[in-house]
Amino acid sequence: MTGEPIRDERVRLRDGRKLAYAEWGDSQGPPVLLFHGSPHSRLWCPDPEATQQAGVRLVAVDRPGFGGSDLQPGRRLTDWPRDVVELADSLDIDRFAVAGFSGGGRYALACAALITERVTRAGLVSTGAGLVLRERPGALEDLDEEDRRDFDLVEREDRETAAGRIAAEWADWTRSIAEEPRRFFDAYPVTEQNRWFREDPARTVPFLEALGEALRQGPIAIGWERVVAFEPSPLRPEAIFVETYLWHGELDVVIPRAAAEFLGAKIPNCKITIWPDDGHLGIARHWDEILAALST
């Protein structure tokens, strides 16, 4: 289960920023771009062995301010597809599939909506994407205390102020997890449902190392990430016609199944799969299934 990327580099974008990415699998295979959760980084591949066996060229990308990618103050969801196009062009990749895990789901959908000439398929894994936060009945009531606090900040303040205040709220947590990533699991007890992941160092060590990498620039990236997550979406799922797959665990305690299914029902060409015995990290157990759907 352990493994290192075959490539871990940064490209310089036209605006001068650097964007970090890591490649896994077969450099000659069909390309799949992976957008990580929030926060996480390019250094986590859900299953390196399955990636190699699938023969895909997996490119995992750090969003601005996470891991090795430069911060982009003021960024918006619609900026991401332009970064992705520049990265793909630098790698001589014409068309590609996109996969978004957890908080990365909205970024996969942004690519499916705005660069349809480049995206072959889109995969959404363990995500409600936030694109329908204001539409789904009961969604705001489902927010936990931290999410509700940050949502209210985004509602009340200008974007820069909200990002700064959210970053300040998350500063202690960011510092703590960056110094000792294993603390991340403190809020999630070992259960029969997640034991397969939590008690396997071959899975947890790469996951936590990638988390520590994600946070090394401090909390401001989280500030902007959550502004993007909680402000009104500029995209309409009903207008996304790229072939889309949505996978979700019945036992997910991070993103409610109802949120995922509500989103999937809004996308015209979306196939929904519910894993009955998995939770938020089901991506690591079903990665071969995901890659098969996105790369066929």
Query: Radius of gyration over alpha carbons of the chain, in Å?
Result: 18
Whether 2 is in a domain gets the answer: no
Domain containing residue 139 = 7-295
Residue 39 and residue 164: Cα distance in Å, rounded? Answer: 17
Count of beta carbons in the 10 Å neighbourhood of residue 235 = 17
Contact 100, 108 (CB under 8 A): yes
Residues 228-257, mean pLDDT to the nearest whole number: 95
Counting residues of the chain whose pLDDT is more than 70, the rounded percentage is 99
Whether 277 is in a domain gets the answer: yes
Residues 159-188, mean pLDDT to the nearest whole number: 96
Task: Transcribe 145-198 into DSSP letters.
Answer: HHHHHHHHHHHHS-HHHHHHHHHHHHHHHHHHHHH-GGGGGGGS---TTTHHHH
Question: Is 215's pLDDT higher than 90?
Answer: yes
Token couple for 93? 């990749």
What pLDDT score does 188 carry?
83
Whether 139 is in a domain gets the answer: yes
> Which CATH number is 108's domain given?
3.40.50.1820
Count of domains for the chain: 1
Contact 19, 69 (CB under 8 A): yes
Contact 211, 39 (CB under 8 A): yes
1 pLDDT band (50/70/90 cuts)?
very low
What pLDDT score does 107 carry?
98
Q: CB within 8 A of 15, min separation 6: which ones?
A: none
Residues 197-223, mean pLDDT to the nearest whole number: 97
Residues 157-182, mean pLDDT to the nearest whole number: 97
Whether 1 is in a domain gets the answer: no
Whether 31 is in a domain gets the answer: yes
Least confident of 40-49, 56-65, 122-131, 214-223: 122-131
Whether 35 is in a domain gets the answer: yes
Q: CB within 8 A of 180, min separation 6: which ones?
A: none
